[in-house]
Amino acid sequence: MRVLDTAALLHWPVDQLADGVCAISQQAELERVSPQRSLLVQSLDSIEWRDVPPAWLQEAKEAAASSGDLPRLSDVDVDVLALAIALDATLVTDDYRLQNTMQALQRPTKSVGTTGAKQVWRWELRCTGCRATSPVPANVDRSKKGSVAECDVCGSPMNVKRAR
């Protein structure tokens, strides 16, 4: 079984998408990025579109927080991760954060068009003021860039940095 990230839906030939599992939330993302490809993909009977139960989402958020990747994952990324974890499936993605989380869990990944992540990186929150560090909590703000929390020590912004 394979869970397909949006990159696979966008770039793989249609016959390679057969028997893939995708999150329903990916439909809107696919429509936004490529309306024509979206029509083609949604017309296929060979893809299983699934809702993601809250318990699965929580498990995925905890796993991504444990590796430190959660702050930089989108809602759709978390949905895809949740499916892969709960279904014990290979995650097909070019997203290094998703690959990193899956590899930290010792779960299989497959790249769409890149070589893929070579090693597991650990991430932490680091204060821009006093340089205090802390683990990434499961309830952290998520943003593709910028600070994601305030420092408990000095109140300065905290950014996601690779753990030393």
Domain boundaries, the chain: 2-110, 123-162
Q: Where residue 117 falls among pLDDT bands split at 50, 70, 90?
A: low
Task: Report the SS3 class of residue 133.
Answer: strand
Is the model's pLDDT at 36 over the cut of 90? yes
Residue 56 contacts residue 85 (beta carbons within 8 Å): yes
* Percentage of residues in the chain having pLDDT higher than 70: 97
> Vertex 104, ends 78 and 152: CA angle to 5°?
70
pLDDT at 118 over 90: no
pLDDT value at 82 more than 70: yes
CATH 3.40.50.1010 fits 2-110, yes or no: yes
Mean pLDDT of the chain: 90
Closest by CA position to 3, among listed 53, 49, 62: 49
> What's the DSSP call for residue 135?
P
CB under 8 Å to 4, separation ≥6 — which residues?
12, 17, 20, 21, 22, 47, 80, 92
> In this model, does residue 76 exceed pLDDT 70?
yes
- Over pLDDT 90: what percentage of the chain? 62
**pTM over cut 0.85:** no
Interhelix angle 96-104/54-67, nearest 10 degrees: 90
pLDDT at 123: 83
Take residue 22 and report the two structure tokens written for it: 């995708």
> Tens of pLDDT along 128-138?
999 999 888 77
Contact 122, 67 (CB under 8 A): yes
95-117: average pLDDT: 87
For residue 102, give the H/E element and its range: helix 96-104
Residue 22 has pLDDT above 90, yes or no: yes
> What is the arithmetic mean of pLDDT over 6-35?
93
pLDDT at 115 over 70: no
